[in-house]
Structures are given as C-alpha cells and as structure tokens.
Amino acid sequence: MNDAHDPIDGDDPTAARVRDALHARADGVEPAQGDPAHLAEAIAADRARRRRRAAWAGIGAAAAAVLVVGGLVLASGGDGGDQVVTGTEPGAATSSAPTSTTEPPETTTTGAPTTSAPTTTESTTTLAPATTAPPTTVPPTTAPVLPGGSTDPRSGPTSGPYPALLTDVRTGCQAGASRVVLEFADGAMPGWTVQYVDPPIVEDGRGETVAVRGTAFLQVRMSPAWAHDLDQPDAPPTYLGPDRLDGGCASHLELVETGEFEAVTTWVIGVPERVPFTVNTLSGPSRLVIDLAT
Amino acid sequence: MMIAVEPVAPPSIEELYREHYRSLVRLASLLVDDVATCEEIVQDAFVALHRRGLDGIEAVRLPAYLRSAVLNGARSQLRRRQVRRRLAPAPDPTSAPAPDAAPLLGPDRQAVLDAVRALPDRQRDVVVLRYWMDLGEAEIAATLDIAPGTVKTHARRGLDALAAHLEDLR
C-alpha cells in the first residue's frame, strides 16, 4: 500500500496517458544552456542587484550617521571651542555659523561640513591636511599641494589574516585633500599598489573595458584580497556597497571596482588630472587610506 | 591556500548544476510552455540556493530542494499566465509556439498536458513528480514537504480529476 504499486498507479489507463503525455513533452525539450558559466553569470547579476539594493539601504544608514556625527561636532563647537573644532573650510563655516547657534540640526543637513565630519577623526591620526589648513590660511587657489604627496607609484606589504576581505569603501572631501578609504575585516591588510595607469581601464579577469569618468586613473590593486568570503560555502559578499561610487569631490570623480579575480581586487579612481596622492594604512579596523590633493 | 579557488561559485553548486539542470528544465517544461522561461525558472532556483547557502541543507536533500524551488517558480509563472488570460480574453500572443519551441505534441497529448496544468497546485506537483520523475511516495513527500499519506490523497484526486476531465473531452 505504501510503495509504487499502490492502487492509484497500477494499470490505470489515465495514469498511462498522463505518463505518456508528460514524457512526450519532456523528451521534446532540449535546454539550450546547462553550462555552469551561465550559472556564474546569473549569480554575479544577482549579486550586483543585491549590492544596489544594499547601497540604497546603506545610504539611509549613512545619512542617519552623518546627522548624528554632525550634531556632535556642532554641539562640541557650541560648548567651548571656536570654529577650529569643526575642522572644515572657512567658507562653509562662516556661512553656517550665524544660524548654527539657533537651530543646529537643520544646518547639519545642508552644509558641506557634515560629509567631512566622519573622516576628520581619521585625519588626526595620520596626516593633518584638514586640521592644519583651515585655521592658518584661506584655502589655496594655487597648484594642488599635499604634504608628502607625489604622483609616483606606491606599494606596501600584506599583514594580518590572509586573504584580506574588503568590507567597505568610502570617500570624503576635505579642504586640502579628498580621501578614499578601503576597509578590511579582522585586522587584515592586503599587499597594495597604488599607481596611475593609462586607459583603457580593463576589468581584471573578464578583460572588458570599464568606463571610468576622468582623464587620469589611479589604480588601487590589493592582493591577496577578496570582496567575498570564499571560506563560506556560498561565498557571501563581504562588501555590500556599490561597485561604482560617485567621488563627490573635485579631485576624484568616480571610484569603480575593476576586478576581483584570483585574489586580486582592484579599484580605479577617476581623477581630472594626475594630482599628487598619499597612501597610509590605519588599524582597528584596518584601512587603506588614499588622499588626493585638491 | 585559497588563491586558486574560482571566485564565483563553489564547486558543489556547480556539480549540482551540471547534474540536474537539464532534468529540472524538463520538469518546469511540464508546467510552462516557453522553454526559455523554464530555463530562467531553473536558473533562479540555483541562484536562490547559492544565495541561501548550501550549509543548512543535507546533501541528500539538495535535489529535492531544487525540485521544489522549480515547481514553485513554475507555479507562479502558471498563475501569472492565468491572470493574463483572464484580463485579456483575446488570444495570448505569447502562448503561440515560438519558432524554436519544442515540437508540438498532437491534440491528444496536449489535452492531457493542459489538463495536468489545470490541476490544483499540490495535485499537479504530485502527478508530475510521480508520472514523469517516477518518484516514490516518500521522495515526493520530502520534495513537497508534506506527509506521505497526503501524497497519496493528492495523487488519487489528481488522477480522478484528470480521468473525469479527459472523459469529458471524448
């Protein structure tokens, strides 16, 4: 009663007709695909879709964070300090100063200071273009200057766990420099090379040309580094943001992932011209910080 | 240690894909006319499995998991088409066989196929798994996540409904 020979099967003529029709249909179907490469493509497309979705969610979270941090900066400024505390360019500070005393929350959403607020905390640990420039002089209208910066290639060694997993990519604008930060999980730092490369920009592995805005292209090459955790069976992405970021600053136009192939992850920064840059590493969490002169 | 690993898909899901892709497309084709749509349904099932991760599923359960995902995908396609038909009684251009569609079945077999597609969801799933995949009761139960006794009920009801329907056509 509980195996294939139960009464509903048997010699039932309907069952025979159904069986015949289903098999005739299925036998006539010849799938065009079946190559795992197609699956890989579909998975990549799915990943890109989810990244876009996560990016939108991230924008909401980032906006909230900016509000909070911006509010803190303004609050501390109102307590005891003067505009040096804000660490932003004088132009923006003067324009927002009169209103900031009366209604701080609103001014944080409007002005440029909020976008640079999170990165100013980082700048104090390594290099100090933002903290030194504003109090002393008016922003330079002369050639771009960045302490320690040059257009020469730079590179550094790997350290920590292996391979490094990319978790975040951020940009920020400051008075003397604009900044790109790549963050890695678990204190890992991949070996890195940062250098200007000539177009066309080609996606590593696939060999397809990638469009990047700008006329000069600063390539950030990290190895061994992935943006996916291959130790997990389904290799979930560790970096959920978009693979194309609008730089939002004068000195870098766009930031584009151009490869994640055989443990080499590359991003390219599109710049209007070959401006001097510096590269620093920070720990806790480990970050690769690239500053470009503006 | 892992530099040589291919970046996109761990081999296990590729193996599954190689082994089951074609039969899953055929399974979908029992419910959905357009073969390209069937391939999409199967592709989606694999992508969903990849996204979910193979971790939480026992290896032996994976084929059943995929079958069930394909049946679900095919079902929502069927439903969409039914809605479209209801909204637009004029002949649906997409139901006309594409030039590269599977060979026509002939009126008798097509009538049986249409009748199977018109069955209630569970009955249709059971009938297809039983009479095309030749799965036993336990396997069908595992695929659809229902009790073995329920499988039998659905099978009998489905077959009865088909018999009545096909008798009417005569």
A29 and chain B in contact, CB less than 8 A: yes
CA distance B13 to chain A (A): 8
Closest-CA residue to B97 (of A188, A115, A215, A25): A25
pLDDT, residue A209, reads 84
Token digits of residue B149 = 């006794």
CA angle B95, B97, B103 (to 5 degrees): 135
Q: What is the pTM of this model?
A: 0.46
- Whether A43 sits inside 8 A of B35 (CB atoms) is no
* pLDDT given for residue A113 in this prediction: 36
Assign residue A146 a region: left if phi > 0, alpha if psi is -120 to 50, beta otherwise?
beta
Residue ranges per structural domain of chain B: 11-88, 106-170
B39: which chain A residues are within 8 Å (Cβ-Cβ)? 31-33
Element (H, E) at A151: none
Quick one: average pLDDT of B143-158? 92
Minimal CA–CA distance to B117: which of B153, B53, B165, B61? B165
Look at the block and give the residue holding tokens 């069930």. B68
Q: What token pair was written down for A130? A: 């933002």
Q: Answer for the pair A288, A267: CB distance below 8 angstroms, yes or no.
A: no
Q: In chain A, whose CA is at the least distance from the CA of B110?
A: A21
Asked whether the beta carbons of residue A25 and residue B105 sit closer than 8 angstroms, the reply is: yes
Average pLDDT of adjacent 10-residue blocks, chain A of 294 residues: 49 88 90 79 79 60 57 44 34 36 34 36 36 38 69 89 87 78 90 93 80 90 87 78 76 80 88 90 89 84
Q: If you average pLDDT over residues B26-45, what whole number do you get?
A: 90
Query: What confidence score (pLDDT) does residue A171 get?
Result: 84
pLDDT score, position A5: 45
Q: Please tell me the distance from the alpha carbon of residue A289 to that of residue A266, in angstroms, as a whole number.
A: 14
- Which A residues in the span 186-245 are in contact with B, Cβ-Cβ below 8 Å? 205, 224, 226, 228, 230-236
Whether the link from the prior residue into B93 is cis, omega within 30° of 0, is: no
Mutate to test the interface with A, among B112, B114, B151 (most CBs of A within 10 A): B112
Which DSSP helix (H) or strand (E) runs through A166? strand A164-173
Over the stretch B125-136, which tens digit does the pLDDT of each residue have?
999 999 999 999
Any CB–CB contact under 8 A between B165 and chain A? no
User: In the beta sheet, which residues pair with residue A223?
Assistant: A191
- Cα–Cα dist A141/A155, whole Å: 30
Q: Which among B18, B26, B162 has CB closest to A29?
A: B26
pLDDT level of residue B87 (50, 70, 90 thresholds): low
Interface probe with A: pick from B6, B14, B38, B50, most Cβ of A within 10 Å: B50
- Provide, as residue numbers in chain B, all residues whose Cβ is less than 8 Å from the Cβ of A231: 2
**Is residue A130 a contact partner of residue A175, using CB atoms and an 8 Å limit?**
yes
Query: What topology is assigned to B106-170 in CATH?
Result: Arc Repressor Mutant, subunit A (1.10.10)
Q: What is the DSSP letter of A112?
A: T
- What do you get for the CA distance between the two ends of chain B, in Å? 67
Residue B165 to chain A, least CA–CA distance (Å): 10
Under DSSP, the state recorded for A161 is S
Answer whether A82's CB lies under 8 Å from A272's CB: no
Q: Residue B76 to residues A116, B31, B73, B79, B162: CA-CA distances in angstroms?
A: 48, 10, 5, 5, 22
pLDDT at A229: 80
Partners of A243 on chain B (C-beta within 8 Å) are none
Residue of A31, A39, A228 lying closest to B7 (CB–CB): A228
Both tokens assigned to A23: 């098999």
Alpha carbon distances (Å) from A169 to A122, A210, A256, A266, B16: 14, 19, 10, 12, 34
Which of A39, A224, A262 lies nearest to residue B46, judging by beta carbons?
A39
